[in-house]
Structure 1
Amino acid sequence: MKLLLALSVVALVAQPGQPRLERRTFKTPDGTIARYGLAVPRSYDASSPRPLVVALHPGGGAGMLFYGDRYMRSVFLPGLSALGSIMIAPDAPLGSWTEPKAEQMVLALIDAVGREFSIDSRRTLVAGYSMGGAGAWYLSARHQDRFAGAIVIAGRTGEPIETLARIPTYVIHGRDDEVVPFAQAEARAAALERMGRPVRFEALMGASHYAMGGYMAALSRGGRWISDQWNR
């Protein structure tokens, strides 16, 4: 079924030099109407392909329209601004990023945005916090052909370890995380390092699971590390 993009578009006012921001809806191949936020650098030129960041929101936004867009603007855009990327931030269908419906929606959205904009397919990054971090693990493990990097913030995963971090993966976890145990995240990253996987683990002192502001500097460092891996 042909994917219908931009059934509705809401442009948001941006200051000079800030990205162009839009809120959009589109119809997925199975007919679901999905919502997402879009950010396009003001300097975008179709002759120069841009990286693409897929930003995955955490849980807790049930019933809130454009929840992903809110997190994109407050967290992922400022944290990953150095990448100069186009960024998309969908709302999770069924309140999860690890369901087949969400997986297919994200892939369809990447394809649709790639038809509209000049995207460097070798530089597609998935980044997520909490439930979104679980989604980043899930999608990057299953689609190494579609993603070239992942940033996981305070995210758990049930994926087999041998499937993880085959692409550059930056893992950020607070030592005081009361939801996803720090020891589990640390042990997983250490095991991946022993396997020779391209993974970097950053432990944050005093950071609880819900203190998103405490993760911002680490998110920026993660973006720079991913960019360095791409430029090797």
Structure 2
Amino acid sequence: MKKLVFRSILVVLITFFSISCSSDDNDSPSTPDRTSADVEADFQALDLTTGVNDVSLQSVEGRTWNFRLIIPESAGTSERPLILTLHGASGGNPDAHKSTACYTEPGFEAIDPIILSPNGGNNLWTDAVNQQMILSLLFLVNKYQNVNEDRVVVTGYSNGGNGAWFYAEVVQGLFSASIPMVSSYNTYSTAGTPRQINIPLYVIHGENDELFPLAETQEWVEATRSAGTDVTMEVAPGLGHYEPCEYVPYVKNAVEWLQNDVWN
């Protein structure tokens, strides 16, 4: 039942974003003869091997989706957790998705997951074009890789952490948990009331964050907790915003939380 729900939701969302992006984004390339079946066939044709794969796909609209997919050897014999990791910044760095060795790979090594790291380009993770890319890639990875669909997690750093909050809140039924890092996400509605998020979160934040003040993030964590969200927050003593690789121990703590509190 979980697999059916997961894939049904993704198909609906992919279709919605394909229509909305192609009709609303005048700057997108035009490839009227390309279909979602073409994208799926291209994914199947990728030469994916155990280890790190840096690959790309062309979307229905002709955009290039660059992403990294890390496949552990254990995926050949057992279903693995899937970690969707969203990089920081939105400045169009063509190699931004290749930073997984900094904190994602060492932080999550205890659960030997499949890791999906897309490149968000010049757009925010909340923009429609990136929503389409992420949901499409999740659908394809879940369909063609040995994923435990009850153990799909979204995480991210800085702008990617904001994205981890966003997808935890707006995409229902796909993720078992979210781990935002050094993020800034307002959990109040426009009416000033706190919003509830329906999946558990483990929020990691540096004590000395220069870009996103700790007090502000703490306030928003407390607000959503008061609305009923299952949220844990860990403050990293002495750490700031611009040292992502130093957060590995805190990611490992979040993995223990996944194993003991979320997946048990």
TM-score normalized by the length of structure 2: 0.77
Q: Say whether the 8 Å CA contact 1:9–1:23 is kept in structure 2.
A: no
- Asked if 1:142 corresponds to 2:170, the answer is yes
Query: In structure 1, how many angstroms separate the alpha carbons of the residues matched to 2:221 and 2:228?
Result: 11
Gaps of 5+ in 1: 13-18
Report the equivalent of 1:224: 256
User: What is residue 240 of structure 2 aligned with on the other side?
Assistant: 208
Give the secondary structure class of the aligned counterpart of 2:250. Answer: helix
1:15 corresponding residue in structure 2 = none
Matched, 1:49 2:79: yes
Matched, 1:59 2:73: no
What amino acid is the match of 1:96? L
What residue is the counterpart of 2:149 in the other structure?
121
* Deviation of 1:7 (Å): 8.8
Change (3 A) 1:98 1:60: closer
Q: Could you say which residue in structure 2 is the equivalent of 1:40?
A: 71
Taking the aligned partners of 2:45 and 2:214, their CA distance within structure 1 comes to 41
Residue type matched to 2:118 in 1? P
Identity of aligned residues (%): 25
Deviation at 1:228, TM superposition (A): 2.2
CA, structure 1 residues 199+72, in 2 after alignment: closer, same or farther (shift >3 Å)? same
Range moving further from structure 2, 152-161 or 122-131: 152-161
Equivalent residues in 2 for 1:76-155 (5 A)? Answer: 76-155=104-183
Pick closer, same or farther for the CA change 1:41–1:93 going to 2, 3 Å: same
Distance 1:164 1:212, change over 3 A: farther
Deviates more, 1:193-202 or 1:32-41: 193-202
Partner of 2:61: 30
Q: 1:50–1:120: 8 Å Cα contact kept in structure 2?
A: yes
Note the aligned Cα RMSD (angstroms).
2.2
List per-residue Cα deviations over 1:79-115 (Å, max 9, x = no partner).
Answer: 1111221111000033321111111110000001112
User: Retained in 1: the 8 A contact 2:87–2:97?
Assistant: yes
Q: CA deviation at 1:193?
A: 2.7
Post-superposition Cα deviations, 1:159-190, rounded to whole Å, max 9, x if no partner, equal: 54654532111101112111011101111222
Larger radius of gyration: 2
Where 1:74 maps in the other structure, the secondary structure is: coil
Q: Distance in 1 between matches of 2:57 and 2:45?
A: 7
2:81 aligned partner, one-letter code = P
* 1:209 shift after superposition: 0.7
TM-fit CA distance, 1:61:
5.2
Task: Tell me what 1:194 maps to.
Answer: 226
The 1:170/1:126 distance shift into structure 2, 3 A limit, reads: same
Which of 56, 72, 78 lines up with 2:100 in the alignment?
72
Query: Which structure dedicates a bigger proportion of its chain to helix?
Result: 2
What residue number does 2:14 align with? none
Asked if the contact 1:138/1:159 (under 8 Å) is kept, the reply is no
- After superposition, the C-alpha distances for 1:139-177 in whole angstroms (9 at most, x for unaligned) are 111112111111111111245465453211110111211
- Counterparts of 1:11 and 1:49 in 2: how far apart (Å)? 17
CA pair 29-163 structure 1, distance change in 2 beyond 3 A: farther
Structure having the higher strand fraction is 1
Separation in 1, partners of 2:258, 2:198: 13
Shift of 1:119: 1.4
Alpha-carbon distance in 1 for matches of 2:186, 2:179: 17
Structure 2, gaps ≥5 residues long: 1-34
State the TM-score, normalizing by the size of structure 1. Answer: 0.87
Between the aligned partners of 2:170 and 2:57, the Cα distance in structure 1 is: 24
Rounded Cα–Cα distance in structure 2 between residues aligned with 1:210 and 1:172? 14
Residue 22 of structure 1 aligns to a residue whose secondary structure is: strand
